[in-house]
Amino acid sequence: MYIKTTYLGLCITILIFFISFTAVSKPGDVTDIPQQIVEIFPTATRIGPPEIDVPVLPVYQLNQLLGYIFETNDFTNFIGFSGDPINILIGIDPKGVMVGLSILEHNEPIFIYGLGGVPLLEFVAQYKNHSIKERYIINSRDRSAPNTTYFDGVTKATVSVLVVNDTIITSALKVARAKLDGFIAPSNMMLKPDYFATLTFAELVDRQLISSWKISREAALSDTTLPSKVVAAIKAVGQDSEQFVELYIAFISVPIIGKNLLGEGEFARLQEELKPGEHAIMVLSNGDYSYVSDEFIPQTVPSRLSLTQSGLPTDIRDIDFYSYNKPSFITTMPDYRDIHVLRLKSQSGFELSRAMNVGLGINYNASFIDVQQFIFPYSVNLSSDMFILNPDAIEVTPTPLWMRIWQDRIVIIGITCLYLIGLTVLFIKQTSVVKHPRLTHAIRGASLLFVLFFIGFYAQGQLSVVNIFTLLLAVYDDFKIEVFLLDPVLFILWVFVFISLFIFGRGLYCGWLCPFGALQEFAGMLAKKLRIKQIKIKPQHHKFGQAIKYVILVGLIGTSFVSLNLASKLAEIEPFKTSITLQFVRTWPFVLYAVFLLLLSMKIHKVYCRYLCPLGAGLAIIGRFPILKMLRRRKECGSPCQLCKTKKCEIDAIEKTGEINYSECVQCLECVVTIENPTICVVDKYKGKRKRPLGKEATIFVSNVE
């Protein structure tokens, strides 16, 4: 009887489950769920039909909505170094929490051929179980801001990481605003185009166009809602003014505010700093407690100040507006101690017409080892008189990533451009400079140090043959200049090198701009200090060796049209990625290869540049016939004098006739230093000592003079 009852109960249970499952399933639902979605939503029992308005798939557990699954490629098109977007599968729950992420496709070379895929997977995994409402900051030293999620980036892959971050946040925000409650979509309000009147600072405050936020020390200390430890932190702040907090917040990108404060000239300068859809806030502080800490770094996010709208954080970053220009105003301003102009990016979804909340944080010791931050809140509402309905309601296009990268790296770009200008002047004025050997050698030594440590290790400006066949394929297939603009230093260097090839030849880059070339030269200098005997390659072997790099170049370019993946792997014949980009932090075979080349260059001067470098071969082909052949020759060069060829030109770019082979020359200037200095050039040195032309014996003598 017991067995029969149990069997009957099991049958009834199965029947009820079947009826329930059938009841909640709808036409178009999918019950055979792909494994990638199961990994993101483990309890899912079915997938609803694709949404009509937004390309997302609803995921259910029976009749309960677990969230939405979507691919980032359907919402964003942020291009990485490969020229393609990074496609990520994201699952987001009804509260806006990203419950899982999976990389579907990417072609970022730094991860495929350099660091490996694990660092990228680990970076993306950081977003799991975090809300889209959180404020995200990547690679920040100051991590004290509240309601902020700090993620570690990936060393040597800064641009790729920024592309991933923008891809995840932008696409998830679009889905949240379209499908989830509590995520307000952009309104249809816009600034009145002709809204302007001449107003003083006080009148702007009275009209609610500038927000004035003041908290007296007495009010702060008497606030019974504040925890005692916060009160202690307030007391610890120095008392220099009547107010504990005194802030003025002005959206100076709005004409009626910006022009009345800055004037036409400064307002125009501000507009040049902003991209379409971006806003600028001027913040002034004169209280005891400022919105910036002593550790604040220009062009970063103030850790004490936050801005939210509709519960979503908005990134506010200093644009260093007063780095080279002192603050200038056309109206009487209140006293202030700190002043900064902060940028609100276009893709943030921020709208001036809606209420916003400003938060000012103060750190306090919650326990012996735990430091937390208390937020003083302040609500900001700009005057509704400023706005009208926008009949078009066009969604603002996000600022391209390459533009933001250029803005963030303006200092590096400036230093690089100054060096290139100085290098150009040096090459044009080289005849005057080389008359002073010590000065020339000092300039060259300083240049090699700058190229290796700043251009190479710091700015990651090592050019590669991969750039050449990537460009050729882009021209052949679908050229996108945004791909090349993602790294401003590489872009500037390539433009400069391409132009200079036709003017000076390949030597300007190979001798003065290549970080690995500089590293080889330092290896050669070390060899001389250690008195390591150099190997002199015989002329016939030297000519054969020079041809090798051209064969390698042709092979790589040909392979790239068949398989870019294979060509990129074969391009590892370049030790640049291992030594310069990754600074020898790589698996041992690559490190061993790079170290071997450097050790070999201690015996054979710049052996890689002379015989193996496909990049040098490509540059040599383009710069074979430079317009300006600045390296001076004398009629005695080659006949009878062989001093420069045998002793001065370590890269063997001087023919036996005395002519310079500009396809192989790195323009180290050593030969012209010799010619322009009578104490070094044997032709001048022995001119007054001989009574007859140099004969065979003298020729031999001259060729062996050091």
Q: What is the pLDDT of residues 137-153, one digit of tens each?
A: 777 666 666 567 888 77
Span 504-519, average pLDDT? 90
pLDDT at position 5, please? 46
* Of residues 358 and 22, more confidently modeled: 358
**363 exposed, middle or buried (CB, 10 Å; 0-12, 13-18, 19+)?**
middle
Q: Which of 213, 206, 301, 214 is nearest to 249 (CA)?
A: 213
The per-residue pLDDT for 20 is 44
Element (DSSP H or E) covering residue 396: none
Task: Output 483 or 370, whichever has higher pLDDT.
Answer: 370
* 74 half-sphere exposure, CB direction, 13 A CA radius: 17
In this prediction, residues 400-407 reach a mean pLDDT of: 78
Task: Decide: 465 and 553 in contact? Cβ < 8 Å.
Answer: yes
Whether cis (ω within 30° of 0) applies to the bond prior to 515 is no
Answer yes or no: are the C-beta atoms of 515 and 455 closer than 8 Å: yes
How do beta strands 387-389 and 189-191 pair? antiparallel
Q: State the Cα–Cα distance between residues 285 and 342, nearest whole angstrom.
A: 14
- Residue 166: pLDDT band with limits 50, 70, 90: confident
Residues 316, 348: Cα–Cα separation, whole Å: 10
Q: What is the pLDDT of residue 263?
A: 94
* Distance of alpha carbon 299 from alpha carbon 141, whole angstroms: 13
What is the spatial distance between Cα 325 and Cα 338, in angstroms, rounded to a whole number? Answer: 15
Per-residue model confidence as pLDDT tens digits over 421-444:
999 999 888 888 888 888 988 999
Task: Give the mean pLDDT of the chain.
Answer: 82
CB distance 338 to 285 below 8 Å: yes
């291009």: which residue's tokens? 79
Beta strands in 279-395 (DSSP E): 279-285, 305-309, 312-313, 316-318, 338-344, 356-365, 371-380, 387-389
In this structure, the dihedral spanned by the alpha carbons of residues 516, 517, 519 and 522, taken in order and rounded to 10 degrees, is 180
End-to-end CA distance of the chain: 113
Mean pLDDT of 205-226: 89
CA angle 102, 105, 107 (to 5 degrees): 130
Q: What is the pLDDT of residue 354?
A: 85
Sign of the alpha-carbon dihedral angle for 662, 663, 664, 667: positive
CA distance 637 to 658: 5
The pLDDT, as a whole number, for residue 293 is: 87
Residue 190 dihedral angles phi and psi, to the nearest 5°: -145, 160
Closest CA to 28 of 57, 52, 5, 48: 48
pTM: 0.57
